[in-house]
Amino acid sequence: MTLKLGIGMLGYGFMAKAHTNAYKKIKYIFHPFPAEIELIAICGRDKNKAQEAAQRYQYQKWVIHWQDLVEDESIQVLDNTATNDVHCEPCIAALEAGKHVIVEKPMALTLAEARKMYEVAKEAEKKGIKHMVAFNYRFVPALRLARKLINEGKLGRIYQFRSNFLSDRLSNPQAPWAWRLSKEKAGSGVLGDLNSHAIDMVRFLLQTEVQAVLAWNPTLISHRLTPEGKSCPVEVDDVSLIWLKLANGAVACLEASKVATGYKTTWRIEIHGSEGALAFDLIRGNELQFFSRRDPVEIQGFRLIHVTEPEVHDYISYWWPRGHGLGWEHYHINMLEHFLRCIATGDNVAPWGATFLDGLRCQEVIEAALTSSRQGGWIELVY
């Protein structure tokens, strides 16, 4: 008999849309898939919006208290796409109720929360419960190829990791105040929202740990107006600058910004090693650049690889013909397919997916970055 996986969705924003879209596509894209996926319930604070989302996406029901998801017997998977302040409690409750849990990044509002969540997840794991943090960029075929080339030693000793995650979302001083600018709701600004991706990517690609953190998280625009015209203080950073000392001896520079006028969603990653280099930009997410010092000098140069070869590049064979490529939508689908498949087969979520341990490691760096930015010096991490 086919396994049934009932989904309980917490949140109805664009991320819930992206994840729901995934649950609808997994079955016929990743065919044959070892489970049936059922959209059981969607939950949100606004009754009308929850109802509309349930109708639009064909969830069997809608609820307004997350506890109703946790208590629902037909739900096996809690998908938490709520705001950062509603990550900790529902995730813990769901795990304790024996549900598999995926949560949006950053995993938690604070390091203390993340630690608690991880402890509960570790216990649940003993009973076969899976947990994942939605670091979706681990499922970009081009970044998978990057990891593979690094693993094979194509870059030699790693010298530098550079990340620039650039958005202009807040460039306009008239852009309105929103929950993401509140310390209480968001924990941090671009640090948690964008640089968390970079922190996870350092660990995913280089497979090393962070030893020390130096950070500067300035707030360039100190006040914004709410849609109602009230001036509110911006309590979190709009630029996040981090330097990392890595256990493998490499140097990482991570920048994230939402005042990077001109860029909607540009995420450049560059890695330099003794034998080669890699470059990636999310805005052209099907492409990976690879430079090898082992090529004859005469023809050395960055190769622009279009990572869309079904035979050799991860995930492509499931999707569209060679050359057509994937996008933002598909990284989420690949990610959720991995999570559900691990649930179905019992395989480990790591190393391809980020577990709550990975989420915790990321949160430790975020916390260190907050401290460093306040104090102005290096923070050592101890594991």
Kindly identify the residues of this chain, within the stretch 125-184, that bind a second copy according to CB under 8 A: 145, 148-149, 155, 157, 159-160, 162, 164, 167-168, 171-173
79 near a second copy (CB under 8 A): no
Output 98 or 218, the one with its CB closest to a second copy.
218
Instruction: Determine the distance from the C-alpha atom of residue 155 to the mean position of all C-alpha atoms in its chain, rounded to a whole number.
Output: 25
Are 8 and 79 in contact, with CB atoms under 8 Å apart?
A: yes
Of positions 3, 275, 344, 381, contacts a second copy by CB under 8 A: 275
Q: Which of residues 45-74 bind a second copy (CB under 8 A)?
A: 56-58
Cα(149)–Cα(360) distance, integer angstroms:
26
Of positions 247, 251, 344, 381, contacts a second copy by CB under 8 A: 251
Of positions 5, 70, 194, 279, contacts a second copy by CB under 8 A: 279
Q: Which of residues 308-327 bind a second copy (CB under 8 A)?
A: 308-309, 311-313, 319-327
Cα(374)–Cα(353) distance, integer angstroms:
32
Q: Which of residues 24-43 bind a second copy (CB under 8 A)?
A: 24-25, 28-29, 31-32
Of positions 220, 232, 247, 344, contacts a second copy by CB under 8 A: 220
Are 258 and 267 in contact, with CB atoms under 8 Å apart?
A: no
Output 326 or 336, the one with its CB closest to a second copy.
326
Of positions 117, 241, 335, 336, contacts a second copy by CB under 8 A: 241
Of positions 18, 142, 190, 354, contacts a second copy by CB under 8 A: 18
Three-state SS sequence of 215-284: EECCCCCCEEECCCCCEEECCCCCEEEEEEEECCCCEEEEEEECCCCCCCCEEEEEEEECCEEEEEEHHH
Nearest in space to 179 (alpha carbons), one of 86, 42, 314, 79:
86
Of positions 44, 90, 187, 273, contacts a second copy by CB under 8 A: 273
Output 291 or 315, the one with its CB closest to a second copy.
291
- Region of 105-113, 195-203, 253-261, 359-367 interacting with a second copy (CB under 8 A): 253-261
Min separation Cβ 329 and a second copy, Å: 6
Structure tokens that stand for 119 in this block: 């402890």
Cα(72)–Cα(60) distance, integer angstroms:
12
Cα(42)–Cα(50) distance, integer angstroms:
7
Min separation Cβ 105 and a second copy, Å: 16
Residue 364 identity (one-letter amino acid):
E
- Region of 42-50, 132-140, 353-361, 374-382 interacting with a second copy (CB under 8 A): 374-382
Output 183 or 264, the one with its CB closest to a second copy.
264
Of positions 14, 48, 229, 346, contacts a second copy by CB under 8 A: 14
Apex 133 CA angle, 50 and 273, nearest 5: 140
> Parallel, antiparallel, or unpaired for β 77-80 and 100-103?
parallel
* Residues in contact with 284: Cβ distance below 8 Å, sequence separation at least 6, in sequence order: none
**How many residues touch a second copy (CB under 8 A)?**
92
Q: Which of residues 330-369 bind a second copy (CB under 8 A)?
A: 330
Min separation Cβ 163 and a second copy, Å: 12
Min separation Cβ 42 and a second copy, Å: 12
Q: Which of residues 287-306 bind a second copy (CB under 8 A)?
A: 289-291, 293, 295-306
195 near a second copy (CB under 8 A): no
Q: Which long-range contacts (CB under 8 A, 24 or more apart) does 312-319 make?
A: 313/141, 313/144, 313/145, 314/141, 314/144, 314/145, 315/139, 315/141, 315/144, 316/141, 318/29, 318/30, 319/29
Cα(35)–Cα(318) distance, integer angstroms:
17
Instruction: Determine the distance from the C-alpha atom of residue 166 to the mean position of all C-alpha atoms in its chain, rounded to a whole number.
Output: 16
